[in-house]
Structure 1
């Protein structure tokens, strides 16, 4: 896991949920935000929280990452136009580090799933092969917000050029990159975007 940083995306407006998803109570204790940070902190990795919400930052600052250090906060400046732009800013902010990207709205996510994803991405690439992005796959589709984005200067440059030209769809940018799907247990990869998604979430 050397050179890898865990990054939690928590800057969304939660319009479909009708309330801030990150601050919803989690049955494991605390909020969805604190649960997600705790899952990431079980890995021996530094953590960056990406959010402009002051309430999120206030919850994260007393917490520690997987190395026992304070969790870093990257406050998103304007414009705030989705996860691709956040990824671009993370790559620029943490050059020389691969990024384990994770969204705050996967409240079923387990540490074992994160470990499996990181382990798959640690497999050495073939000589001369481009650095591949390893993305979670639930058996039906890719989950690009849960993935390992390697430290690759060429990839950073391509993403910066894509967003500078107005590109904002993560899937559109990924279409031009080397991507490796990583099959993971689908139950932990579910997103909760609406109140119906969260109904019956736990017994």
Structure 2
């Protein structure tokens, strides 16, 4: 049974954002092939599963906006307790004619709701609301930073910034809100924000965010939107 006490230092789950339109890339980023032949989505799942070794009940959720990207079956061999699942985006309470997703925030809200349902139904567990702060790690498919490295970079800040609810990476000029940790306690506020018709990430997180500078060697591993950007990211990954 999954309880808040057996999670790895407050990490409640991982969501991989793979539902973007990828118009400038020309193909879904989740299906981009790395030089090794591995697809980008499988790359992120593989590294998330490495974190799962420390806690075999750690949920790994794929938010692909209904695209149904499959996972390399070889990744799941000898991992009978690993929970990798697809989740739908959260949709605000609107009429059928007005239904729309709220982008990345809809995926994050859905992941939070999924984690709370799992905890509420787990016999003998406590609910998220009554536990110590628990975090959802968000990983976007426009990055090649492995989940293992991202977690190690962010977890120290989560312990030191007790008053912050979102911890994410930053470089000299950009904040990366979709490479970060989101405290599950913000779920009601996030739901209300989406239900009000809002979908922009930065205005929501600005009052509660703690940024974590990362090394220049990571700068070219993130935020790729064109084939040229992706080629540069692959080169940067090989040079690490």
TM-score bracket, shorter-length normalisation = 0.7 to 0.9
Note if 1:178 corresponds to 2:232. Answer: no
Structure 1, unaligned stretches of length 5 or more?
A: none
Inter-partner Cα distance in structure 2 for 1:67 and 1:100: 22
Note if 1:139 corresponds to 2:172. Answer: yes
1:121: Cα distance to partner?
A: 4.1
Which one has the largest radius of gyration?
Answer: 2
**Pairs within 5 Å for 1:14-33:** 14-33=22-41
**Structure (1 or 2) with the greater helix fraction:** 2
Question: Cα RMSD between the aligned structures?
Answer: 2.6
Aligned to 2:17: 9
Structure 2, unaligned stretches of length 5 or more?
A: 1-7, 53-57, 91-98, 117-127, 129-133
Give the counterpart of 2:43 among 35, 38, 41.
35
| Structure 2 SS opposite 1:199 | helix
Question: Cα distance 1:29–1:196, how it changes in 2: closer, same or farther (>3 A)?
Answer: closer
Question: Cα distance 1:182–1:19, how it changes in 2: closer, same or farther (>3 A)?
Answer: same
Give the counterpart of 2:153 among 114, 117, 127.
117
Aligned to 2:197: 166
Aligned to 1:93: 114
Give the counterpart of 2:67 among 29, 53, 59.
53
Residue correspondences, number = 194
Note if 1:190 corresponds to 2:208. Answer: no
Inter-partner Cα distance in structure 1 for 2:196 and 2:38: 40
Tell me if the contact between 2:102 and 2:194 (Cα under 8 Å) persists in the aligned partners: no
Inter-partner Cα distance in structure 1 for 2:62 and 2:21: 16
| Structure 1 SS opposite 2:20 | coil
1:90: Cα distance to partner?
A: 1.7
Inter-partner Cα distance in structure 1 for 2:36 and 2:81: 21
Question: Cα distance 1:139–1:192, how it changes in 2: closer, same or farther (>3 A)?
Answer: same
Inter-partner Cα distance in structure 1 for 2:152 and 2:173: 18
Question: Cα distance 1:112–1:91, how it changes in 2: closer, same or farther (>3 A)?
Answer: closer
Instruction: Return 134-143 or 65-74, whichever deviates more.
Output: 65-74
Inter-partner Cα distance in structure 1 for 2:227 and 2:150: 25
